[in-house]
Amino acid sequence: EVQLQACGGGLVQPGGSLRLSCATSGFIFDDYAIAWFRQAPGKEREGVACVGSSGERTYYADTVKGRFTVSRNNPENTAALQMDNLKPEDTAVYYCAARDSTWYSSRVADFGSWGQGTQVTVSS
């Protein structure tokens, strides 16, 4: 059974940092691209960052470039999203997802396996 579990969310002030982690099991992690999505109230789920299966190729949404860093640890079957200089507009539920492909993507439809979300709130 494919499982992904995201954690690390919380309440942070603008300009602060958070690190989200995604623990996975039930599939060959090395063969899957891993992505982070977010969904704010009343908005569609959007791709934030993605890392290809080898970790060499990454994608970032324009809104987070230079502030977020996606990474993966293949031996440990985990992924992470380091979020720096957080802004109130980053407030959302964040999800990690796995795609049965070596290539990254930002499309929700390309990902068949999802973890539960973790809430990130940026507020003073």
Q: What is the percent of the chain where pLDDT is above 90? A: 95
* pLDDT tens digits along 50-102: 999 998 899 999 999 999 999 999 999 999 999 999 999 999 999 999 999 98
Q: Is the pLDDT of residue 40 over 90?
A: yes
- Say which residues have a Cβ less than 8 Å from residue 48's Cβ, sequence separation at least 6: 35, 36, 37, 38, 60, 61, 64, 68, 81, 94
- Mean pLDDT over 7-32 rounds to 97
Contact (Cβ atoms closer than 8 angstroms) between residue 12 and residue 69: no
Give the model's confidence band at 122: pLDDT under 50 very low, under 70 low, under 90 confident, else very high: very high
Q: Is the pLDDT of residue 9 over 90?
A: yes
| pLDDT for the residue 82 | 98
Q: How far apart are CA 39 and CA 46, in angstroms?
A: 6
